[in-house]
Structure 1
Amino acid sequence: MPVRPLPRPAPRTVFVTGANGYIGSAVCRSFARAGYRVYGMIRRASSAPSLWRVEATPVQGSFDDASWVDTLISTASTFDVLVNCVESFPDYEAHYEKVIMVMLRLARASNDKGVRPLLLWTSGCKDYGLGSVRADGSVPLHTEETVEDPPTEAIRQRAQTSRRIYEHADVLDGVLLRPTSVYGYSSSYYATLMDYADDQRGSGAHVLPLPVDPETPMHALHVDDCAEAYVALAEHGDRSAVADQTFNISSYRYETAREIGEALAKGYGFRDGVVFPPVDEAGDQFPASVAFTFGFPQWVASEKIRNLTGWRDRRALFTEDIDTYRRSYEAEKARGHENIDLARDRLAKIGTMEVGRE
């Protein structure tokens, strides 16, 4: 006689900061699909529907007034995973202090109930610095062992400060994540590339001018693949293999500026394709945001997370399905997606900081 199965254990719980942001919203979606109970922090009540749509519970609060944390603890009780997907420039360090205090309060409350959270902290591969093409044509590969060489003061502060998550091993297990650039949907920094191509086409140009080195390596992955990497680490059975580690998150290969330029020219209908004039001929008509996105060469290894968890990127590269990504971006732009303006503002703050070294 068939026996009715017993109820499953209660779902695990994850708390995500920056939950309505570009990576944060994708992380919420991925954890919800994996069966987690998801709580996502937002600053404005108007952002709540974006979380409810992916079946995540919005938590409205501010890092300047963390009185909401007690209410969250009384609601959720324990947190198996804590994810930070928010940052602030130019004063990253001051912002870090506010965020980590919230994470520690949630961790200690979980400890009291016998749960030791995993903290996944988002930084970025720009911490490694530029991976410029060498004189012999080769491209340096950035691994987790690569010495950090941030190109701006803003990124230097992020790279140094984010490592402090490892100082709290008494209450949680810290993991530092360094994704490459990401695309898809509202498209983050890659939106500037599509906007530029669209503007050039609108001006009546028959050729797309890109005053960049066409061999520049541009490594990026789809934001959904990026978010799945967070879940893969949270789900890994051996916590000791994950804790106190740094993991890069990247697609299986990089694309070159030439590949991306050719794809943009084809996708936006430039009759005469793309040209790559000398960089010093860029002029004022080549936006700084586009120059920064094209001009940050990197090749980033992600074998560490692949070999440990089995994670891999599945979505098409940017050049492989640019028509779909373009139309998705245009749809998000038409409905006024807030992340588009946020990405532009963040790119301006990062790309215009003075270079700073210690």
Structure 2
Amino acid sequence: MAPKVVLVTGATGYIGSAVARAFVRAGWITYGLIRSESAKTRLAAEEILPVVGSIDDVDSHGAILESVPPTLDAIVSTTEDITNYVPHYNNIIHLLRTLGLASSKNGVRPLVIFTSGCKDYGVGPHYHGDPGLAPHTEESPLNPPAVLAPRTIHAQKIFDHKDAFAPVLVRPINVFGRASSYYQHFFKLAEKLSAAQKPLIVNVPPNSVSQAVHVDDCGDAYVALASHPNRNEVEGQVFNISARRYETVDEVLNSLAAEYGIPEIKYVDPSDPSAQENPWPPMLLDFPQWTGDEKIRKLTGWSDHRPLFSEALQVYRVAYEAAVAIRDHNVETIQNLGSFLGDKK
């Protein structure tokens, strides 16, 4: 039986690269769409076949089509421009339809896994120990922060394109590991405070829920959906991708303080004057959210295996520092996100 074939867009991005590696490990012939010729060697070294092209250059979509096989079993979309979401989304849809219709014409209607995020559900608010505490599920109401509303609204429209492909929408929780994505701010702040021997000032409750999944486990979840033997159970569905349990802010910060030798964790009321010195970027600590993912676990058997962030923080710190040292572009990509989300520091 011939190996299945997948195209992953944004294959050098933070989630995209993890997804592409996961498909390679699972035995798929994996094509990766990238914008830069300079990334071709890096991709090829991971046994990912590079396809150079730009999603936002619609005129180039025909050339992208010519660079992939006549049929694709799956296409995974992992790119977004959160600062200007809708134009990029429209271009993604144009490319997905171009590829999906061509593959369908040749006999294979591809599964398209489209990426949004669990912040679509908004703040729980979820606090460990609260009576009636329950996770968000795929049936929970959508209530995103205003800055992410365009993604929440438009991502659902992927289901309008069943004529061209078999759509699936995934909502990963926060991801960490390797270059660390937004979780790099834990390391950056801890390093500063350690050097100055200053306390961690925290203006959220210590029992605030903090939940994240390792990016490699997240990549494996995409493969589990694409590999599921009954397409009818996957197509047209929404799936959360989360971690086997949540952590609390206190768990994470105690692990951070121990790793960096920070002398004190100081929890303060938001009205306290010292809270005005809040060093945390938005939506890192102040977004208490517990997201359940029993749906994907029960259907596919997928499970996350990597230690949680607080359980192996030293491992993830060393990996992040290595990513900085080799100038991993995924470290740099996150630099301007905080300001867009409302970080005024």
TM range (shorter): over 0.9
1:332 alignment partner in structure 2? 323
Residues 130-182 of structure 1: CA distance to partner in whole angstroms, max 9, x if unpaired? 01147982434100000000112x31111110111101111211110000000
Which residue, out of 57, 60, 64, partners 1:65?
57
The answer to whether the aligner puts 1:74 opposite 2:66 as a matched pair is: yes
Q: Map 1:2-81; keep pairs closer than 5 Å.
A: 9-75=1-67, 76-81=69-74
Which residue, out of 173, 196, 203, partners 2:189?
196
Higher mean C-alpha deviation, range 132-141 or range 320-329: 132-141
Q: Note the C-alpha offset of 1:212.
A: 2.4
SS of 2:51's partner is strand
SS of 2:283's partner is helix
CA distance in 1, matches of 2:250, 2:125: 15
2:243 alignment partner in structure 1? 251
The answer to whether the aligner puts 1:108 opposite 2:62 as a matched pair is: no
Q: Map 1:83-162; keep pairs closer than 5 Å.
A: 83-133=76-126, 137-138=130-131, 139-152=133-146, 154-162=147-155
For these two proteins, the number of residue pairs brought into alignment is 341
CA distance in 1, matches of 2:128, 2:219: 36
Q: Which amino acid aligns with 1:123?
A: S
The answer to whether the aligner puts 1:218 opposite 2:214 as a matched pair is: no
1:356 alignment partner in structure 2? none
Does the 8 Å CA contact 2:117/2:172 hold for their aligned counterparts? yes
Report the aligned-residue RMSD.
Answer: 1.9
Q: Note the C-alpha offset of 1:195.
A: 0.7
Which residue, out of 302, 305, 308, partners 2:299?
308
Which residue, out of 261, 267, 283, partners 1:269?
261
CA distance in 1, matches of 2:127, 2:307: 28
Q: Note the C-alpha offset of 1:352.
A: 5.4
CA distance in 1, matches of 2:240, 2:180: 20
SS of 1:294's partner is coil
CA distance in 2, matches of 1:126, 1:171: 28
Unaligned runs of 5+ in 1: 1-8, 354-358
Q: Note the C-alpha offset of 1:105.
A: 0.4
CA distance in 1, matches of 2:216, 2:2: 26
TM-score normalised by structure 2 residue count: 0.94
Residues 277-316 of structure 1: CA distance to partner in whole angstroms, max 9, x if unpaired? 2234455643352x43011111000000000000000000
TM-score normalised by structure 1 residue count: 0.90
Q: Which amino acid aligns with 1:171?
A: A
Unaligned runs of 5+ in 2: none
CA distance in 2, matches of 1:323, 1:268: 9
Residues 110-138 of structure 1: CA distance to partner in whole angstroms, max 9, x if unpaired? 01110010010000000000011479824
SS of 1:314's partner is coil
CA distance in 2, matches of 1:305, 1:32: 21
Q: Note the C-alpha offset of 1:15.
A: 1.1
CA distance in 1, matches of 2:129, 2:290: 16
Residues 85-106 of structure 1: CA distance to partner in whole angstroms, max 9, x if unpaired? 0111233122111001001000
CA distance in 1, matches of 2:151, 2:141: 14
1:228 alignment partner in structure 2? 220
Q: Which amino acid aligns with 2:187?
A: M
Q: Map 1:273-288; keep pairs closer than 5 Å.
A: 273-281=264-272, 282-283=274-275, 285-288=277-280
SS of 2:181's partner is coil
SS of 2:304's partner is coil
